[in-house]
Amino acid sequence: MSDLMPPITAPDTVSHVLADESATARCAALAELKETRRRTSDDRATRRQHERGKLTVHERLELLLDEGSFRELQGLRRHQATGFGLETNRPHSDGVVTGWGTVDGRTVCVYAHDFRIMGGSLGAAHAAKVHRLMDMAETAGVPLISLNDSAGARIQEGVAALNGYGGIFVRNVRSSGVIPQISVILGPCAGGAAYSPALTDLVFMVRRVGQMFLTGPDVVSAVTGERVTTDELGGADTHGTFSGVAQFVHDDEATCLQEVRRLITFLPDNNQTPAPAYHCTDPIDRPNGRLVELVPTDPSRCYDMLEVVEEIVDDADFLQVHEDWARNVLCGFARIGGQTVGIVANQPLHLAGVLDIHASEKAARFVCLCDAFNIPLLTLVDVPGFLPGVDQERGGIIRHGAKLLHAYCAATVPRIQLIIRKAYGGAYIVMDSPAIGSDLALAWPTNEIAVMGPEGAARVIFRRDITDAHDPEAALAHFTKLYRDELVHPLRAAELGYVDDVIDPRATRCVVADALSVLRTKKTSLPYRKHSITPL
């Protein structure tokens, strides 16, 4: 039996463990076998991994999990395939380490590819280990984390490897909205393997290390004639900035895994439990005087909404999701009064905070994520409308905007809308207005809610008067002021009942915290259906 294994340090082979009749000796030999397998006999493979700028699988697990908490599952499993040289290459673990441990004392299940063993490629035994762990995570109701660093399907095992991927995909979908699923790309993730991260809730990537693509550079060059590097085609910046596949991008593995730990602190274990609450040392009634200085009253002037968010939340701690993609809208996790809250906000620094195709998709997915895991939503509104243009219309801005509208309408978690400044047209409705179900609508005294901006509205309503006027510019200014004073003044929406309260910006944190406290016990019911039909 020992001649079928890769060599390990003598004399602790499997046959030696089985031959010794002493229970104590067997235990000692088995422990040494596991430790030897953990180190791997091929020091060259470890050196090559480090030369690529990558950590080994066990180094990654030590960074991700609490010290000493990892318990491995099926560490001695080996593949049973034959042919193409596989019968003489049957390493324990089969290229993937699976098990559970804790992050900040909370249990998580994790599987991690070991690129040193057969390139971390997936065969039938490898897949079966992952399937078993995924089933355990779903049954136990704990988050699932995958550390991806794999050459893909094991070619020598043919259809068995492809079937293994199918089993992973169906489990990703079955657990969607049931337990948090987090993918970390720490090496190649190509072909069909890329679909599992795409099916999970949140994706982390490391620059110069992780790559994801369906067809590699050689195939792209052969088919289209385009020459592109692996990193240009599917690197971290590509997916973090252009495609939107990756929600988080980091420069090194240590920082990335530390941020995965940070993310876990904002999320619940499953959809039946609340997100963990933390002791809040930041006073709830802390005045927000700085907000008055941050936000100009002139609706045409830009400012950084990120500073507004950080002023409102606990300790300015805001974990952005998709920081570099669709930057005209902010999405992310924070705490107010020690409780997790999801924040969606227009960002005036980029495209004036307008909603376009990518911003709509980004916000819609985030709203769905928060709703699935019972995380209240705070929506900060300063939106001039949807982005006009031929490309946007042909690209389906109606359909993509409807995704955000659908996400908000379907959300049953506590929802608070806060209008910071302008809220025009259909974008006002879509950004969680009372008409689509927000539980509380607040506004600052700088708010302007209207079908369109005052000047544009004046040009439409008083077009003839302006054209016939002796001084059209003065007439336009007059009618713009008239429209603003009559229909867009800060108290207009409150007078009509479309805003529940116009609040002092300096009291924003206190008011929002009180509202979240009241809404925490919110209960709602929906009509029976198998599922809604999202405008994908």
365 phi and psi, to 5 degrees? Answer: -65, -40
Q: Which residues pair with 202 in a beta bridge?
A: 182
pLDDT category of residue 56 using cuts at 50, 70 and 90: very high
pTM: 0.91
pLDDT category of residue 2 using cuts at 50, 70 and 90: very low
Residues whose CB falls within 8 Å of the CB of residue 331, separated by 6 or more in sequence, listed in order: 320, 321, 322, 342, 343, 344, 345, 362, 363, 366
Distance CA 387, CA 340 (A): 31
Share of the chain above pLDDT 70, in %: 92
Q: Tell whether the model's pLDDT for residue 158 goes beyond 90.
A: no
Residue 322 sits at the vertex; the CA angle it makes with 320 and 324, to the nearest 5 degrees, is 100
Residues whose CB falls within 8 Å of the CB of residue 499, separated by 6 or more in sequence, listed in order: 419, 441, 442, 443, 447, 449, 493
Q: According to the model, what pLDDT value does residue 34 have?
A: 66
What is the DSSP code string of 456-506? HHHHHHTHHHHHHSSSHHHHHHHHHHHHHHHHSSTTHHHHTTSSSEE--GG
Distance CA 59, CA 310 (A): 34
Q: Tell whether the model's pLDDT for residue 398 goes beyond 90.
A: yes
- Candidates 141, 158, 426, 456; catalytic one: 426
Q: According to the model, what pLDDT value does residue 76 have?
A: 77
Burial class (CB in 10 A: 0-12, 13-18, 19+), 395: middle
> Could you tell me the two tokens for 116?
């040193």
Q: Tell whether the model's pLDDT for residue 155 goes beyond 80.
A: no
Task: Tell which residue, 203, 213, 209, has the closest CA to residue 253.
Answer: 209
- Candidates 123, 152, 187, 191; catalytic one: 191
Task: Tell which residue, 199, 141, 153, has the closest CA to residue 173.
Answer: 199
What pLDDT, in 10s, does the model give residues 412-435?
A: 999 999 999 999 999 999 999 999
Distance CA 329, CA 384 (A): 12
Q: According to the model, what pLDDT value does residue 467 have?
A: 87
Q: According to the model, what pLDDT value does residue 42 have?
A: 59
Distance CA 386, CA 357 (A): 9
Identify whether 191 is a catalytic site residue. Answer: yes
Q: Could you tell me the CA-to-CA distances from 172 to 107, 181, 192, 309, 330 in Å, in that order?
A: 19, 8, 14, 33, 27
Identify whether 277 is a catalytic site residue. Answer: no
pLDDT category of residue 28 using cuts at 50, 70 and 90: confident
Residues whose CB falls within 8 Å of the CB of residue 472, separated by 6 or more in sequence, listed in order: 466
Q: Which amino acid is at 106?
A: R
Residue 19: CA count within 13 A, CB half-sphere: 8
Q: Element (H or E) spanning 233, and its range?
A: helix 230-234
What pLDDT, in 10s, does the model give residues 98-116?
A: 999 999 999 999 999 999 8
Q: According to the model, what pLDDT value does residue 22 have?
A: 76
- Candidates 75, 192, 244, 338; catalytic one: 192
What pLDDT, in 10s, does the model give residues 285-305?
A: 999 999 999 999 888 899 999
Q: Tell whether the model's pLDDT for residue 7 goes beyond 50.
A: no
- Candidates 427, 443, 450, 494; catalytic one: 427
What is the DSSP code string of 288-320? -THHHHHS-SSTTS---HHHHHHHHSGGG-EEE
Q: According to the model, what pLDDT value does residue 31 have?
A: 74
Q: Which domains does the chain have, with CATH numbers?
A: 1-39 (no CATH), 40-266 (3.90.226.10), 290-451+489-519 (3.90.226.10), 454-487 (no CATH)
Q: What is the dihedral of CA 501, 505, 506, 511, to 10 degrees?
A: 40
Task: Tell which residue, 487, 510, 84, 111, has the closest CA to residue 291.
Answer: 510
Q: Using an 8 Å Cβ cutoff, are 110 and 61 in contact?
A: yes
Residues whose CB falls within 8 Å of the CB of residue 201, separated by 6 or more in sequence, listed in order: 176, 180, 181, 182, 369
Q: How many residues make up the chain in this entry?
A: 536
Residues whose CB falls within 8 Å of the CB of residue 520, separated by 6 or more in sequence, listed in order: 339, 376, 414
